[in-house]
Amino acid sequence: MTRLLIGCLSLALIAACSGGNNDAADTPAATAPTETAREFVARANAELKELGKELGAANWVRSTYITHDTAIIASAASEKYSAWHSNMVEQALAYEGQELDPSTRRAIELLKLGTSAPAPNDAAKRKELAGITTDLEGIYGAGEYCRSDGECLPGSVLEERMRQARDYDELLEYWEGWRKVAVPMRDKYARFVELANEGANELGYADLGEMWKSNYDMSPAEFEAESAKLWEQVKPLYDELHCHVRATLGDVYGEDKVPQDGPIPAHLLGNMWAQQWGSLYDLLEPYPGVGDIDVDTTLKTKNYSPQEMVRSAESFYVSLGMPRLPDTFWERSQFTKPQDRDVVCHASAWGLDGGNDLRIKMCINQTYDELRVIYHELGHNYYQGAYKDQPPLFQDSAHGGFHEAIGDTVTLSMTPGYLAEVGLIGSAEEDRRAVINRQMQMALDKIAFLPFGKLVDEWRWGVYSGAITPENYNQSWWDLRTKYQGIAPAVERSEADFDPGSKYHIPGNVSYTRYFLAHVLMFQFQRTLCDIAGHEGELQACSIYGSKEAGEKLWAMLEAGASQPWQDTLELMTGTREMDATAIIDYFAPLMDYLKEQNEGRSCGW
């Protein structure tokens, strides 16, 4: 997953734009437009191009140097952009009801939607909101759990221990410990919701959730229906996987701890948020030892540096006909964790200066998991570079899910055949058992993630609308997690807790629906690109590595950015105007057959 920099539009995604002209932010909006809508959009794009540099730099420094001083710098830059954005949106409202050409109307609409946390048009409240958003991210970034023996563990260490541990009580300690970090966020978050909702109201939206859902070229109600449709398409596969995993954990921990007719205890799935279950693969490997892919050993034996791992990913994109990354990428990116300061290690891709200054921010280790994250992050960078010639208001993906899906699609092509071809493993021969093993390993991440990807924003939609109040933040969070994921906490939780805040994207105010949609689109994209590349056989065996034809089709889609409705961009690539999760079922057909066999006679569901 990534905290993505896309153009100069979204504060919560770090890529919001800060003001270089102090007077512009304080100039009262004209009561009547003094320029045509097209002239207004041209001016907005010109200002946005310049405003992006300051805020991008401020947030980069804040993420790579977490100090009291950088918090002040980032907060001030965010506040300045909020003032500019509020002022420009107020001016844009003067063009409501006018007959506009499609491009101008789209630009104005995207300007209105140009922040995930719209600030009220009030200087004091803008400052308060900017301070809260900076504080929330700072609490998360500097968070750690201190054990009774005095050992203090940051989030990244706790995540690693959750992946490795198997002891029931030890896992529960880490799980509970990290959630203590989020408790101080609760009141700040409630105030954040009040302020951001006020800002959304001023833009003409009922609440912030309605504003977020309006960013998909369909009505909020239509978008909710679309999300529900996609979930229903993949739910049968998730249900089979959940049933098999629960049965296995029941064997490991005992059915007294893992009842076979209820949800799975949330701390037993090898991940701090039970969003991906890949760490359990050693317990669930269908055919032990068959077709093992040991990229980790190659990376360590050949002593791949972080930069060499990134070069490997770059070479994949270049094989599709895309350009090499600029020299500044290698000079300015953060590849390793500095020893002298706190940084945000959460992997992210940055398109600073309108995509002319591409960077990634990671703390890279020599593992196959990290390598795949790099391939994913460069998907963002190549998208940013492809649409950099679009006007700033169109420097974004067709919708948020597209941005996440590009790198995810590329990782699907990291097949055994590809890994052998580039020297990361030896033989690439696979029998059917090896295919099932590999699909199980992938499903524990990709399929297990789907319900979590959907529910995070569903919780926030309820919070923003007022259906979920501060008095039931935590209960509503767990109600949704049980409904969709079939998991539950092993210990009692109360409203003294704020478990949603333990997930970065809540205090970071990063929309999560994009990840759910990306997990759908990546398989849909892959099915199309494999057809273009001339692949024959099962979808799971396809790699588009080296296919200039597939790369040309993909690049054309990337270049369009946000210049047209996503349905048009999707059609440009796939020939259809609808997102379709059936490609997931096609891809995992071998595993689905296996799971049904394993679950025969079991009582599934919760």
Q: Each residue of 88-142: pLDDT tens digit?
A: 988 998 998 899 999 999 999 999 887 888 888 888 998 999 899 999 999 998 8
- The pLDDT value given to residue 435: 95
Nearest to 547 by CA among 565, 534, 561: 534
Q: Which domain holds residue 104?
A: 22-140+190-221
Residues 67 and 211 in one domain: yes
Residues 153 and 135 in one domain: no
pLDDT exceeds cutoff 70 at 34: yes
Residues 71 and 158 in one domain: no
Active-site hit among 85, 244, 267, 346:
346
Whether 380 sits among the annotated catalytic residues: the reply is yes
Per the model's pLDDT, the better-predicted residue between 499 and 12 turns out to be 499
Residue 104 covered by a domain: yes
Neighbours of 152 (CB within 10 A): 9
Residues 157 and 125 in one domain: no
Residue 477 covered by a domain: no
Asked whether 415 and 422 are in contact (CB, 8 A), the reply is no
Whether 347 sits among the annotated catalytic residues: the reply is yes
pLDDT exceeds cutoff 90 at 220: yes
- The pLDDT value given to residue 427: 79
Share of the chain above pLDDT 90, in %: 81
Active-site hit among 317, 387, 515, 545:
515
Active-site hit among 404, 434, 464, 583:
404
pLDDT exceeds cutoff 90 at 307: yes
Give the integer Cα–Cα distance in Å for 56 and 58: 6
Task: Look up residue 153 and give its DSSP letter.
Answer: E
What are the residue ranges of helices labelled H in 36-184?
37-64, 68-92, 102-112, 123-141, 155-164, 168-180
User: CB neighbours of 165 closer than 8 A, spacing ≥ 6?
Assistant: 171, 174
Kindly report the average pLDDT of the chain as a whole number: 91
Active-site hit among 377, 387, 504, 512:
377
Q: Look up residue 204 and give its two tokens.
A: 């003409």
DSSP string, 262-302: SPEEGGGSSSTTSS--GGGHHHH-SSTTTT---HHHHHHHT
Which residue's entry shows tokens 């009505």? 219
Residue 569 covered by a domain: no
Residues 217 and 87 in one domain: yes
Which residue's entry shows tokens 């950015």? 561
Whether 515 sits among the annotated catalytic residues: the reply is yes
The angle, 0 to 180 degrees and rounded to 10, between the axes of the packed helices 432-465 and 220-253 is: 130
Residues 397-425: what's their mean pLDDT?
Answer: 95
Residues 327-346: what's their mean pLDDT?
Answer: 92
Residue 315 covered by a domain: no
Q: Is residue 485 very low, low, confident or very high in pLDDT (cuts 50, 70, 90)?
A: very high
Residue 60 covered by a domain: yes
Q: Strands 264-265 and 487-488: what pairing?
A: parallel
φ and ψ of 259, to 5 deg: -60, 140
Residue 276 covered by a domain: no
Give the integer Cα–Cα distance in Å for 303 and 236: 42
Alpha carbon separation from 365 to 42, 272, 290, 296, 555 (Å, rounded) = 44, 19, 26, 10, 30
Range with the poorest average pLDDT among 83-97, 194-208, 538-552: 83-97
Give the integer Cα–Cα distance in Å for 544 and 382: 16
Residues 82 and 203 in one domain: yes
Residues 56 and 94 in one domain: yes
pLDDT exceeds cutoff 60 at 20: no
Give the integer Cα–Cα distance in Å for 79 and 309: 37
Active-site hit among 244, 267, 380, 403:
380
Residues 29 and 106 in one domain: yes
Residue 95 covered by a domain: yes
Active-site hit among 242, 244, 267, 376:
376
Asked whether 407 and 558 are in contact (CB, 8 A), the reply is no
Residues 65 and 105 in one domain: yes
Give the integer Cα–Cα distance in Å for 437 and 443: 10
Element (H, E) at 360: strand 357-361
Q: Look up residue 227 and give its two tokens.
A: 């999300």
Give the integer Cα–Cα distance in Å for 595 and 439: 11
Asked whether 468 and 476 are in contact (CB, 8 A), the reply is yes
pLDDT exceeds cutoff 50 at 9: no
DSSP string, 491-548: S---TT--GGGGSTTTTTT--SHHHHHHHHHHHHHHHHHHHHTT--S-GGG---TT-H
Whether 505 sits among the annotated catalytic residues: the reply is yes
Helix (H, G, I), strand (E, B) or coil at 486: coil
Whether 583 sits among the annotated catalytic residues: the reply is no
φ and ψ of 358, to 5 deg: -90, 140
pLDDT exceeds cutoff 60 at 340: yes
Residues 55 and 176 in one domain: no
Residues 41 and 121 in one domain: yes
Active-site hit among 347, 518, 550, 562:
347
Structural domain total, the chain:
2
Active-site hit among 244, 505, 519, 535:
505
Residues 75 and 215 in one domain: yes
- The pLDDT value given to residue 519: 95
Residue 359 pairs in a beta bridge with 350
Residues 451-458: what's their mean pLDDT?
Answer: 97
User: CB neighbours of 521 closer than 8 A, spacing ≥ 6?
Assistant: 401, 402, 405, 409, 579
Residue 59 covered by a domain: yes
- The pLDDT value given to residue 4: 33
Element (H, E) at 412: helix 400-412
Sign for the pseudo-dihedral over CA of 440, 444, 446, 451: positive
Angle ∠(451,401,103) on CA atoms, nearest 5: 145
Nearest to 360 by CA among 385, 342, 387: 385
Share of the chain above pLDDT 70, in %: 95
Sign for the pseudo-dihedral over CA of 134, 138, 141, 145: negative
Whether 137 sits among the annotated catalytic residues: the reply is no
Would you say how long the chain is, in residues? 606
- The per-residue pLDDT for range 201-214, each reduced to its tens digit, is 988 899 999 999 99
